[in-house]
Structure 1
């Protein structure tokens, strides 16, 4: 089958992408039948309308959590699991273009969602249309599933899983090529302990980000400064506060970052008496693998466990710390929790689970992974590519026998969640050609 995408097909795909980028679907106040805000629901409805114009039959959850579009018949169901929500644009003055108006400049698409995940969704959809127009006779039913809460709590896809048919195999076009066959378990938890009479600090950060800065403001600034200097930690100061510098990265890559909250806590432990600070200083330290706390936990499939302490609160009444663990795919979660709880108890602290996502692991010799790898290599000629492992989380993990597959080429710089999110049209076209090859090959899986 000819996988070459014509200019007319590219224009149609970009026009559809423009339509759904126009919705600022980053989650706002809930209304009737719009649990994540009207813009999220409008984006979902627009996506379903696009699918209907391409010959799909569609379904909209009456409560507004999700939708899906079906085409083809057959006993098996191939899923393409996507999301229509995005992260907020942030400071609009930092953008070169309107983030919610698709703009083309010098062959590059600009707009919130062009990489994550509206662009890859459209690429996959129009790739399937190309394959069918070129004569592909579908042997399986294909379902595009549209989540509207992926960037927060996955409430849309979780409702889908409870109410609808599970796919037999599938892809999530929300990562990198060639194919991600293993995703570590994601455990987010809170450590609770007693407070401190002399310290009042509240450092709040997302679970999934290594803190890049941490500020102390209080009467013992001179002593804290001396402790930081003794530890040789970088900081800035003024008359009111001290700010410890770190290097922010995503939690899944915690060892590549420098945790400013941990560094400040280690200095504070030299000045204030608080079990939470002692745990961070003497127990955890700056080891983003948490070997002193948990032992060296790893497996041959997905590597080492990573540990990020994201937030820290200490006051007279209590103390708490938010932590994010990425657990290797074959490691027992409860064993990790038991070991963590045992270590915390030695410091007078307790463990409280906040959220957990099961790991995903589809073996590299499975028909699904082998087929997708072959499709990627067929189009790109990249014979040296190897299947990927990630500490990140994609919607592929919500159902068995699903993997993340594209839509970003290895050479593409990530602008996901960043200002000036962008995607070169040439790269989008290559991604579509890979999806054409993939849908064609997956059609033959028994």
Structure 2
């Protein structure tokens, strides 16, 4: 393949420089328009659909469609003072490209786009349509994919470059739960908590927690923010707060802190009584269900706690709701909100995965194993989708962290792998439908 390395880096820098945090709809639209313009400049078919929330970039032709799902929205920058360079002013140093979205998912988006461009130029005929589906709300409520899947045709199979190599054919489910408890105060208490706040998003381990005391003081704890798919890699600031509250009169706020610490300081939450019985299903590793308290907010006379759950394939949403209802009943609260996305299980015998396996092995020299996806990706959005990169063996997964980056060599290797996948599937006469 012919790779325009410098142009790929320029294209990615331009995309990262757009602060497309999911909640900033104007910036997200700007990022989507930027990617569509890149596709148009390469001679691809481009359009915006799903009420402007999704971009479609296509090459090739044929009744069979090979889908690639990416997203241009990002999480917030976290604590900007910890960044060595501005999160939305992309910088290349020491062989790495730094900026929010470098690995999740702007870098892979640009790598796929350039892989598609290289496939257009290799002189081989296409026997299938390649459709790059670019979303804008992956980090939040998935309104983009909800609209797309209801009103537009789905690809026959495909991948999302939003996980680990080799192939993520199994992915945990994801649930965001909001629990509401009375923030009861104690009359004439000399010192008590009157307000609690923690966290910034459901998919980030909170690196901050603050308790407002009745004498006006604010106690602050700090942790380390990481993606909630692997909370053990970070430090949850909520768990540090109870140890700093000596001499504070117990009340509704302190009870919530004690409850959160007691039940969730072990991320598998054994005291909830829902430990996954087996870590394997049909020969595939599915891990265990993991719980992370991520948000605490004070709202009037109530305190709300947000819990992010990454549940194993054999755990049901009804089982999770049942344990949360029982917990709330014990502490006088209620389940105030819940959203969930299903776990993913794609058989490793699915035909197109043979090509992805061969492509990965030829490009890297590593065995093409199948892996569990701990995070939530667009693989959940439609049938027959697996995660495929961008994280290579030995590479740090720093998505959602301060100083997020992608090594330039990894960016190039991603582009090579995706090019070979497009060539091996879309430029092959064989059908890969089941």
TM-score category by the smaller chain? 0.7 to 0.9
Instruction: Tell me, yes or no, if structure 1 residue 395 matches structure 2 residue 378.
Output: yes
Q: What is the match of residue 189 of structure 2?
A: none
Alignment of 1:19-418 (within 5 A): 19-27=14-22, 36-37=25-26, 39-61=27-49, 63-89=51-77, 95=83, 97=85, 99-105=87-93, 107-198=95-186, 199-205=193-199, 206-218=201-213, 240-244=217-221, 248-265=225-242, 271-274=249-252, 276=256, 279-280=259-260, 284=263, 286-298=265-277, 299-300=279-280, 301-313=285-297, 317-383=301-367, 386-418=369-401
Q: Deviations over 1:293-320 (max 9, x none)?
A: 1331254131111111223356883333
What is the CA–CA distance in structure 2 between the aligned matches of 1:242 and 1:104, rounded to whole Å? 38
Q: Deviations over 1:153-207 (max 9, x none)?
A: 2222222222211111111112221122222111111122333223422123132
Q: What is the match of residue 433 of structure 1?
A: 416
Tell me the CA shift for residue 418 of structure 1.
Answer: 4.0
The answer to which of 315-324 and 358-367 deviates more is 315-324
Kept in 2: contact 1:85–1:147 (CA 8 A): yes
Tell me the CA shift for residue 99 of structure 1.
Answer: 4.7
Are residues 372 and 192 of structure 1, via their aligned partners in 2, closer, same or farther at CA, if it must alter by over 3 Å?
same
Are residues 277 and 420 of structure 1, via their aligned partners in 2, closer, same or farther at CA, if it must alter by over 3 Å?
closer
For residue 331 of structure 2, give the secondary structure of its aligned residue in structure 1: coil
Kept in 2: contact 1:65–1:148 (CA 8 A): yes
The answer to which of 20-29 and 324-333 deviates more is 20-29
Q: Deviations over 1:408-442 (max 9, x none)?
A: 32233334334444333322221111112212232
Kept in 1: contact 2:196–2:211 (CA 8 A): no
Kept in 2: contact 1:203–1:261 (CA 8 A): no
What is the CA–CA distance in structure 2 between the aligned matches of 1:62 and 1:136, rounded to whole Å? 32
Kept in 1: contact 2:325–2:334 (CA 8 A): yes
What is the CA–CA distance in structure 1 between the aligned matches of 2:302 and 2:92, rounded to whole Å? 52
TM-score by length of 2: 0.84
Kept in 2: contact 1:266–1:285 (CA 8 A): no
Kept in 1: contact 2:355–2:425 (CA 8 A): yes
The answer to which of 348-357 and 243-252 deviates more is 243-252
Tell me the CA shift for residue 144 of structure 1.
Answer: 0.8
Q: Deviations over 1:274-298 (max 9, x none)?
A: 464564466x152211121133125
What is the CA–CA distance in structure 1 between the aligned matches of 2:77 and 2:225, rounded to whole Å? 19
Q: What is the match of residue 233 of structure 1?
A: none
Tell me the CA shift for residue 257 of structure 1.
Answer: 4.5
Tell me the CA shift for residue 96 of structure 1.
Answer: 5.0
Kept in 2: contact 1:265–1:280 (CA 8 A): no
What is the CA–CA distance in structure 2 between the aligned matches of 1:347 and 1:418, rounded to whole Å? 33
* Cα-Cα RMSD: 3.1
Tell me the CA shift for residue 68 of structure 1.
Answer: 0.4
What is the CA–CA distance in structure 1 between the aligned matches of 2:162 and 2:221, rounded to whole Å? 34
Are residues 317 and 240 of structure 1, via their aligned partners in 2, closer, same or farther at CA, if it must alter by over 3 Å?
closer
TM-score by length of 1: 0.82
What is the CA–CA distance in structure 1 between the aligned matches of 2:323 and 2:50, rounded to whole Å? 44
What is the CA–CA distance in structure 2 between the aligned matches of 1:27 and 1:406, rounded to whole Å? 22
Which stretches in structure 2 are left out of the alignment for 5+ residues? 187-192
Q: What is the match of residue 234 of structure 1?
A: none
How many equivalent residue pairs? 414
Are residues 43 and 248 of structure 1, via their aligned partners in 2, closer, same or farther at CA, if it must alter by over 3 Å?
closer
Tell me the CA shift for residue 93 of structure 1.
Answer: 6.6
Tell me the CA shift for residue 122 of structure 1.
Answer: 1.6
For residue 180 of structure 1, give the secondary structure of its aligned residue in structure 2: strand
The answer to which of 390-399 and 93-102 deviates more is 93-102
What is the CA–CA distance in structure 2 between the aligned matches of 1:257 and 1:419, rounded to whole Å? 12
For residue 346 of structure 1, give the secondary structure of its aligned residue in structure 2: helix
What is the CA–CA distance in structure 2 between the aligned matches of 1:440 and 1:344, rounded to whole Å? 53
